[in-house]
Amino acid sequence: MKPKRILTLALLSGLITTGVFYLFMNQASSSSVEKEAAKIEIVVAGEDIEKNQTITEELLTTRELEESEVHPEAIKDTAEITGKLATTGIKAGEPLMKHRVQSGEDEDEVIARKVTEGNRGFSIEVDYVKSVSNMIEPEDYVDIVVSIGKEEATTSELIQEKVRVLAVGKRMVEKKPDAPDEEYHAVTLELNQEDTVKVINASERGRLHLALHSKVTGQEKETAEEKEQKETAAELDPLPSRSVIRSGPGLDQGVITVVDQGTVLRDLEKEATDEDGRIWLNVETPDQQEGWISSRIIKYKDE
């Protein structure tokens, strides 16, 4: 009986060992599957990215990492980073981190980045009046005037013209329309080194005032003049020395006919002014077609 009992125990022990081993392998296999499934795709540099370079989709690629290996600051979507600026150099294959990029708006908030090469940024103290009622904004242009003396003995001198404004107070971007009004007491300007010294010296001798430049530039004025020229040219046929006769007094009226320069027209002694202030004359052509022509492109026989 003893050998049989030993054999039975041996069989039971074998079965238990096999069962435990099976359960262990099954659990290990399940854990492996779970581990393999827990991977996250992150954004990495497809090629070297330089400091201050704008990041485009062409510079990026993706890579899968196990969840435990992914840094909390890692970027997982290219849309989060496209169009932003690299604050440091990033080597090809390196993961992109949130703290290593910044938006264009953030760029505007770094004063040193706004100062153009070779120039200096410096601040002058202003009050409500000297700052044109706090209406000067970043990217405006101002003249700097110094006043020396008191009352009748005061002399004023223009010391700088058309100086770029970098910031008002601590704000370096233009105030949004819906933002509340704010009072500031300093304006940061941009000048070259020599002119910066002149302005600082002037501030020690007297009181500085700012005069705001118009934002209507010469180019915008020229555009308005070009528009007027185009409107006048629209009265003429594309061919030089030909003029258009219209069905009514206006550039939006239909064309009846086109006459050559020097054609004698009969004046029907009627005038009309369009909404743009143009004067139109009612005339008849040699072939007895009646219409309207701009007074700007005709002259009378005795002129």
Q: Residue 265 falls within a domain, yes or no?
A: yes
* Residue 44 maps to a domain: yes
| pTM of the shown model | 0.41
Would you say residue 32 lies in a domain? Answer: no
DSSP 215-240: S--HHHHHHHHHHHHHHHHHTB-SST
Identify whether residues 201 and 279 lie together within a single domain: no
Residue predicted with more confidence, 51 or 118? 118
Could you tell me if residue 220 is inside a domain? no
Of the ranges 80-89, 193-202, 237-246, 256-265, the best mean pLDDT one? 193-202
Residue 116 and residue 98 share a domain: no
**Once rounded to an integer, what is the mean pLDDT over residues 133-160?**
86
Last residue of a domain, one of 55, 85, 105: 105
Q: Tell me how far apart the alpha carbons of residues 296 and 286 are, in angstroms, rounded to a whole number.
A: 20
**Where is 161: in which H helix or E strand?**
strand 155-168
In a domain, 302, yes or no: no
**Domain shared by 141 and 202, yes or no:** yes
User: Which range, of 103-117, 120-134, 251-265, 268-282, averages the lowest pLDDT?
Assistant: 103-117
Q: How many domains does the chain have?
A: 3
pLDDT per residue over 66-103, tens digit each? 888 888 888 888 888 888 878 778 888 888 888 787 76
In a domain, 90, yes or no: yes
Of 76, 105, 134, which closes a domain?
105
Q: What is the CATH number of the domain that holds 92?
A: 3.90.1210.10
Residue 254 is classified by DSSP as: P
Domain carrying residue 95: 39-105
Kindly tell me if the per-residue pLDDT of 205 is higher than 60: yes
pLDDT in tens, 1-57: 455 555 565 556 656 666 666 676 766 555 444 445 578 888 999 899 887 677 888
